[in-house]
Homo-oligomer: A and B are copies of this chain.
Amino acid sequence: MSGVLYVIGLGPGNERQITPEAREAIAKSSHFFGYKPYVERLQLRADQTAVPSDNREELDRAGAALTLAAEGKTVAVVSGGDPGIFAMASAVCEAIDTGPEAWKTVALRVVPGVTAMLALAAKVGAPLGADFCTISLSDNLKPWNIIEKRLRLAAEAEFSIAIYNPISKARPWQLDKAFNILREILPGEIPVVIGQAIGRPNEAIVVTTLEKVRAQQANMASTLLIGTRLWRVISIYNAPCVVYAPRSVPGGEK
């Protein structure tokens, strides 16, 4: 009898942002696959087995998890944030699509979570309160020219832009290149928010502008939010600032 594969979102890193549904799926699973830092966030019982792996081994990891699940085990693949946003759910689906027929017998259960851009946006106000797009800057699996095209069209569409996977040792120049592309279309004064480790002890958030921002302010754990001409940065008494995207676009009030 075939088993179950949970693909679980652990949220951005704060224990209090893990849903009860995710907790239940963790409690039911016997084997845990995932990128090492995420697997290490689990407090597993003695009868549960962690199978951590390096980053960029998603398809192998998905296959190993599906093989165990096809044998009848209840298996978990864990991601930070939401598993469907630049994370393991797509790799698991691809493995099911292209792998052995037995993997199609597994009961697939994707458990959503609070993805990084939502947690970061909440910390600063409501910068994603109007139309936006979400782009991974990783060109490991897609051509860089597609990313450039999407950045240009997103800026022309006046979308707020959430950027995932902004930079890594293997991808050192892409983020500054992306800023330069956006600067060709957008004014330098639009706000940019950089966040990492949201909700964790080492949380760091910077609010700057498109003119001033530099790639060295981000790392592979950062999420960025690029504003529009309409974003507002306001001063309040109990926080460094509040950043929000107004609900209204000029000309639209009825």
Q: Which residues of A contact B (CB under 8 A)?
A: 2, 9, 11, 14-21, 24, 58, 82-87, 89-94, 96-97, 104-108, 110-115, 118-119, 121-123, 125-136, 139-143, 146, 149-150, 153-154, 156-159, 232, 234-239, 242, 244-249, 251-254
A146 CB contact (under 8 Å) in B18, B21, B96, B249? B249
Q: What 17 new A-B contacts, CB under 8 Å, besides A85-B118, A93-B234, A107-B238?
A: A82-B118, A86-B129, A89-B122, A90-B245, A97-B232, A104-B236, A104-B237, A105-B237, A110-B125, A112-B118, A115-B118, A131-B150, A141-B249, A146-B251, A153-B153, A153-B154, A153-B156
Instruction: Find A253's partner among B105, B108, B141 (CB 8 Å cutoff).
Output: B141
5 pairs, CB–CB < 8 Å, chain A vs chain B: A16-B19, A83-B122, A89-B129, A108-B125, A110-B125
Q: How far is the CA of A142 from the CA of B198 in the complex (A)?
A: 31
A242, chain B: closest CB distance, angstroms: 6
A252 and B83 form a contact (CB under 8 A) = no
B90, B150, B232: which contacts A159 (Cβ < 8 A)? B150
| In contact, B129 and A121 (Cβ under 8 angstroms) | no
Given A19-B18, A122-B83, answer yes or no on A252-B146 (Cβ-Cβ < 8 Å): yes
Ordered nearest first, which 9 A-B pairs have the shortest CB separation? A90-B129, A142-B249, A93-B244, A89-B126, A133-B133, A142-B252, A110-B122, A16-B21, A153-B157
Enumerate chain B residues within 8 angstroms of A146, measured Cβ to Cβ.
158, 249, 251-252
Q: Given A110-B125, A141-B248, A20 and B16 touching (CB < 8 A)?
A: yes
Other-chain contact of A19, B17, B86, B89, B94 (Cβ < 8 Å)? B17
Given contact pairs A20-B18, A131-B133, A246 touches B105 in the complex (Cβ within 8 A): no
Instruction: Name the contact of A114 in the complex, choosing from B107, B112, B236 (C-beta under 8 A).
Output: B112
Assess whether A84 is in contact with B118, with CB atoms less than 8 Å apart.
yes
